[in-house]
């Protein structure tokens, strides 16, 4: 069974970088597409970007200057880095497998990240 | 970005009821519309993909329909385990989400 698990610090200071890891079991990240999604307080959700089976990436234009998604295929993990965070980046962050033309089918449980000094 | 307007935001229903949840896109999304269920503290669960395709393992009381800009999730006979939050998701172009519907026990 495909399983995803997010990990990372729950508190980040404004202007610093947010770094999260998604650990995948039961499926290789060298296949398919893998995305990051966040849910803000108040429940609005945002698709942040994804990394493909080949390592190519695509990012939400609203984040393009601040976001980076990378991977370590030897550990079957992919990563989110979001730079210059503000309090508006406070959210629950999810990783998901997202087959092309199907959308996210397996999700992690999410990790809550608060941006505060 | 395509805007997804989901309604209602809150739905009170009883076990056995037939319920419908709607999503309206700001432009044609060519049936690339998914429905998810989420319970507090859990990962979202894919119910329906591409308008009317039931994900493996999802009970047949869940169904989806629609085309163009208007889409509907129907639960034919509500079960106790169906209470939670539902949201739609379009992936015709850059993906966007509906705001969610909280389905609660009447």
* Mean of the per-residue pLDDT values of chain A: 96
Which residues numbered 25-64 in B keep a CB inside 8 Å of some CB on A? Answer: 32, 34, 41-46, 49-50, 55
> Which of B44, B53, B91 to mutate to probe the A interface, most A CBs <10 Å?
B44
Per-residue pLDDT of chain A (117 residues; tens, 9 = 90+): 999 999 999 999 999 999 999 999 999 999 999 999 999 998 999 999 999 999 999 999 999 789 999 999 999 999 999 999 999 999 999 999 999 999 999 999 999 999 999
Residue B106 has pLDDT above 90, yes or no: no
Whole-angstrom distance, CA of residue B61 vs CA of residue B41: 24
Tens digits of residue pLDDT in B49-88: 999 999 999 999 999 999 999 999 999 999 999 999 999 9
Residue A64 confidence (pLDDT)? 76
Which helix (H) or strand (E) is A111 found in, with range? Answer: strand A111-115
**Can you tell me the mean pLDDT for B4-9?**
97
Whole-angstrom distance, CA of residue A109 vs CA of residue A95: 8
Q: Residue A44: its chain B contacts at CB < 8 A?
A: 97, 99
Q: Residue B89: its chain A contacts at CB < 8 A?
A: 103-104
């Amino acid at each position: 069974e495909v399983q995803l698990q997010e990990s990372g610090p729950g508190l980040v200071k404004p202007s610093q970088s947010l770094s999260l890891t998604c650990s995948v079991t039961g499926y290789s990240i060298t296949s398919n597409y893998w995305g990051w999604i966040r849910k803000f307080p108040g429940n609005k959700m945002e698709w942040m970007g994804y990394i493909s089976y080949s390592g190519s990436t695509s990012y939400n234009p609203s984040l393009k200057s601040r976001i980076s998604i990378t991977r370590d295929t030897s550990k079957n993990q992919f990563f989110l880095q979001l730079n210059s965070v503000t309090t508006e980046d406070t959210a629950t962050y999810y990783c998901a497998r997202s087959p092309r033309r199907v959308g996210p089918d397996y999700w992690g449980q999410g990790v809550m990240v608060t941006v505060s000094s | 970005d395509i805007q997804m307007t989901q309604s209602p935001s809150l739905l009170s229903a009883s076990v056995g009821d037939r319920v419908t949840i709607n999503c309206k896109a700001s432009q044609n999304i060519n049936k690339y519309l998914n429905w998810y269920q989420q319970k507090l503290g859990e990962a979202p669960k894919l119910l329906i993909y591409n308008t009317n395709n039931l994900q493996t393992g999802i009970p047949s009381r869940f169904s989806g329909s629609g085309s163009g800009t208007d889409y509907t999730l129907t639960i034919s006979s509500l079960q106790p385990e169906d209470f939670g939050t539902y949201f739609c998701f379009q992936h015709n172009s850059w993906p966007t989400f509906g705001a969610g519907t909280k389905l609660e026990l009447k």
